[in-house]
Amino acid sequence: MFLHPGFLTPDECREAMALFALSSKKGSSATSEAQTKTRTSSTVVYGVGTELPLLRDLRKRIATLARVDVTQLQATKITCYEKGQFFGKHVDSMGHDLKVQWTNRMMCGTKTAEQLPAQACFMSKTPERFCTVWIYLNDVEKGGNTRFHSSTPEDALYQAFLPKLGKVFQKKIPGLPKSRSKSEDLVIKPKAGTAVIHFPSTTQEYYGMPDNLSVHEGEPAVDPKYILQQFIYWEPLETVMDNYKAALRSPYMANPDGLGFEEREQTLYQTMFGTPMPSSSADAPVEAT
């Protein structure tokens, strides 16, 4: 977790809020029906390649801050929380539901080490956000704090999944804590221009598993809160899309929403690029078996 006070100037913060206020594309921040009860703010998504000068420059600065290439940045969002609006507990990783079938097989021991490498290849290609940068655009006196929830020593990622992964694939798991005492939650009061950087999943080498140390929430707003959000992937978005298409055909890819191949591809493209997928780039529907 890193905080960067003054990442944006007061004038830049005001300009970003004005972009939101003047946009005709405001919509619910919820990205699925399941989120409508836990995510109640409004958002504007700025499609990759269509950003105004302020956001184009800011994306380059965020990429430098996160030590990545700008091609790894998802479409930028600006979100507004009005009085009473909030975002419940969540992590910013996105691929866990797709990997459940694979991880369950590994954790329950139904596959041997010799049978798992092909599935591991699929896991390493399933797209994942490994870094999040967001920037508060205004000072918030009342409400709207960001709360990171402390983890317990029994955290499944560190105490179960990663050790199991290391044993199966003969990987050295760096920095694995033997025990961890429960600490207090980390509460951040929004201040204009401050950037927050955190890492919601393990790296690609360790299959992008959600890290519960990054569970956080946006507490109910009292005063309005404006925030700019930037999610970052392992690889350039175009590479992520190519890998995702291949992963969709894998027998290990879960499909919790019951969508067809093309629908899932289009949904991910819209999420990453902030624009509809060009029809010329869509493959013929292929169902995972």
The band of 250, judged by pLDDT with boundaries at 50, 70 and 90, is low
Mean pLDDT score, 167-185: 69
Place of tokens 């960067």: 4
pLDDT of residue 162: 81
Residue of 52 and 210 predicted with greater confidence = 52
pLDDT of residue 288: 37
Please give the C-alpha separations between residue 9 and each of 13, 23, 65, 133, 223, in angstroms, as whole numbers: 6, 21, 16, 16, 21
**Looking at domain 2-281, what is its CATH homologous superfamily?**
q2cbj1_9rhob like domain (2.60.120.620)
* Sequence-ordered list of residues with C-beta below 8 angstroms from that of 65, at least 6 positions apart, any chain: 4, 7, 133, 195, 197
pLDDT of residue 251: 65
| Lowest-pLDDT range of 6-10, 97-101, 105-109, 179-183 | 179-183
Six-digit token pair at 142? 């009342």
Highest mean pLDDT among 97-101, 220-224, 243-247: 220-224
pLDDT of residue 136: 98
pLDDT of residue 121: 64
- Euclidean distance between CA atoms 212 and 216, whole angstroms: 9
Mean pLDDT score, 170-186: 69
Residue of 68 and 244 predicted with greater confidence = 68
Model confidence, pTM: 0.87
The band of 78, judged by pLDDT with boundaries at 50, 70 and 90, is very high
**Mean pLDDT across the chain:** 84
Mean pLDDT score, 137-147: 97
| Lowest-pLDDT range of 83-92, 139-148, 168-177, 191-200 | 168-177
Residue of 84 and 185 predicted with greater confidence = 84
48 pLDDT exceeds 80?
yes
Q: What are the residue ranges spanned by the domains of the chain?
A: 2-281
pLDDT of residue 284: 42
Mean pLDDT score, 164-181: 69
Strand order in the sheet with 216-218: 87-90, 216-218, 146-148, 186-188
Strand order in the sheet with 27-28: 2-4, 195-198, 129-136, 225-233, 76-81, 42-46, 27-28
